[in-house]
Chain A
Amino acid sequence: MIIDWYTIMFQIVNFLILVFLLRYFLYGPIIRAMDEREQTIMQREEKAAAQTLEAENETRSYHQKSEKLQQREEEILEKARVAAKNEKQELLEQARREVDETRHRWKEELTRERETFITELRQRIGQQACLIARRCLQDLADSYLEELIWDFFLKKIGELPEEECASLLKASVAGDHKVLLRSAFDPPEAKLNELKKDLQKIVNDPEAGFHLSVKKDPALICGLELAVGGYRIAWSIENYLEDVEDQILKELEQAAPAKQAEEVPGSGERGS
């Protein structure tokens, strides 16, 4: 008999027991372990994903911060650059101003020195011119010229206007009829007498005794000066020469600024 029913029944029971045993010793624990591991892996993956996300966020935030910092740095640098540029500009301006000022001052000084020099020169020229004239006249002066001068002086006294005469009279009274005559030459006696008479005529007192004192003064070039108290009558070539000198100086002064005005623009262009 190939089929043994006893054995079949035994084997069915055996198999069912085996199913039961394996269920509790093999499938159950193994599946549980696998599930647990799967769960663990899932959790780990989720955690990793969360951490990755966090890390990404952090990275992004760091990137943003870094960009902001860079931007800020650039801004600061730009500001510093602008400030430096302005500072440079200002310093340059200041230096230029100082240079201009110095140049201006220097130019003014130069101008002043030149002016002083020119003025001095002018005065010297005038004085020299007059000195030459004076010497010429001194050399030329002789008795004839002296007489002419006396004549002219006496004539001038004789033709004094009335108010002048009154002033002279007042001065004479105040000065106790003291008369000082300054002359470049020794005056001739005749002329002195004439002068006395003229003075007596002016004061309308023929008896008036004038105390005439004479003082020789070569500085009065070919000239005469009469001082009665505070009153003074004079004639001399010196006066004319002084006039001439004044005139010459005036002419030179007028000519000099015109010349300077022409020169200044040229020097200014060279400075810039």
Chain B
Amino acid sequence: MTINPDGIILLEWGWFKINATILFTWLVMFLLTFGSWLVTRKLTSKGTLTRWQNLLEVLVNGIKGQIKEISRQEPEPYLPFVGTLFIFIAISNILSILPGYIPPTSSLSTTAALAICVFVAVPVFGIAHQGMLNYLKQYLQPTFFMLPFNVIGELSRTLALAVRLYGNMMSGTIIIAILLTITPLIFPVVMQVLGLLTGLIQAYIFAILAMVYIASASKTHQEAEKKGEI
């Protein structure tokens, strides 16, 4: 039993190697892209919708609604980043019911990579939204002495983000593995169902937290704008 899918090396050629995490990530990426292409190549804006188009519209619209609710801003700029986080994690987790499939999210490398993406995206969106100076000023709030704590906060929440998802997903896989040895019948199925739920919730939490961080980075500027208006 392998806890870390990074360790399963499928192909190695010099420094270039393909492990299970990367392979399954590609699989998920292919599924998502191909599925999206299949559905969106014949979209209609009139008449009856296909059920797949309807499903995707519900999904995209739901994500947009969530983003708007949290950020209280127009969701379009954040949608590709936050939406992809949610869909990628959700699909990766849901596919874990397939035998032989190891979710890429159960690798700390993947969750760390996603957390790093968020870590980078926060200042990127913050700066894009309110400018470099205003963004950097945020670290000096409320006083100059808070700078180290703000920096630590920024780093720690990225770490927490990565570890939370990894922990949950890895634990799910490990629990099933342990239960299979103790009670090989029926009970693992229940746990697997629970795992699906946990996977979706984690995807939701990850995406929502990412959005919260991004929103908080562009919030100060917004408040200043509002004050200016008043």
- Residue contact B43 to A7, C-beta cutoff 8 Å: no
Contact with A along B7-46 (1 / 0, CB 8 A): 0000000000101011001100100110011001001111
Of the candidates B45, B80, B107, B112, which one forms a contact with A19 in the assembled complex, judged by CB atoms under 8 Å apart?
B80
Contact with B along A22-62 (1 / 0, CB 8 A): 11011101111110110110000000000000000000000
Across-interface contacts of A30 in B (CB, < 8 A): 40, 43, 53, 56-57, 60
B88 within 8 A of A: yes
In B70-108, which residues have CB < 8 Å from any A CB?
76, 79-81, 83-84, 87-88, 104, 107-108
Of the candidates A14, A15, A17, A33, which one forms a contact with B53 in the assembled complex, judged by CB atoms under 8 Å apart?
A33
Known: A14-B26, A26-B60, A40-B46. A3 touches B80 (CB 8 A): no
Across-interface contacts of A110 in B (CB, < 8 A): none
A11 within 8 A of B: yes
Known: A7-B21, A11-B25, A11-B104. A22 touches B87 (CB 8 A): yes
Q: Taking CB as reference atom, which chain B residue is nearest A15?
A: B117
Known: A12-B117, A14-B25. A37 touches B109 (CB 8 A): no
- Residue contact B6 to A7, C-beta cutoff 8 Å: yes
A4 CA / B79 CA spacing, docked (Å): 29
The number of chain A residues with a CB under 8 A from chain B is: 33
Across-interface contacts of B174 in A (CB, < 8 A): none
Across-interface contacts of B80 in A (CB, < 8 A): 19, 22-23, 27
- Residue contact A10 to B83, C-beta cutoff 8 Å: no
A123 CA / B171 CA spacing, docked (Å): 160
A18 within 8 A of B: yes
- Residue contact B44 to A3, C-beta cutoff 8 Å: no
Across-interface contacts of A80 in B (CB, < 8 A): none
- Residue contact B43 to A11, C-beta cutoff 8 Å: no
- Residue contact B40 to A22, C-beta cutoff 8 Å: no
Q: Taking CB as reference atom, which chain A residue is nearest B82?
A: A19
Known: A12-B113, A14-B29, A21-B29. A36 touches B36 (CB 8 A): no
Would you give the shortest CB distance from B6 to chain A, in whole angstroms? 4
A144 within 8 A of B: no
Across-interface contacts of A17 in B (CB, < 8 A): 29
Across-interface contacts of B22 in A (CB, < 8 A): 7, 10-11, 14
- Residue contact A19 to B81, C-beta cutoff 8 Å: yes
Known: A8-B109, A26-B56. A33 touches B79 (CB 8 A): no
- Residue contact B60 to A19, C-beta cutoff 8 Å: no
Question: Top 7 nearest A-B pairs by Cβ distance?
Answer: A11-B113, A36-B45, A7-B109, A29-B40, A25-B36, A26-B36, A23-B80
Residues of B within 8 A of A (CB): 4, 6, 17, 19, 21-22, 25-26, 29, 32-33, 36-37, 40, 43-46, 53, 56-57, 60-61, 76, 79-81, 83-84, 87-88, 104, 107-110, 112-114, 116-117
Q: Apart from A11-B113, A34-B45, what are 19 other A-B pairs with CB-CB below 8 Å? A: A2-B108, A3-B109, A4-B6, A7-B107, A10-B113, A11-B114, A14-B26, A15-B117, A17-B29, A18-B32, A18-B84, A21-B32, A22-B87, A23-B80, A26-B83, A30-B43, A33-B45, A36-B45, A40-B46
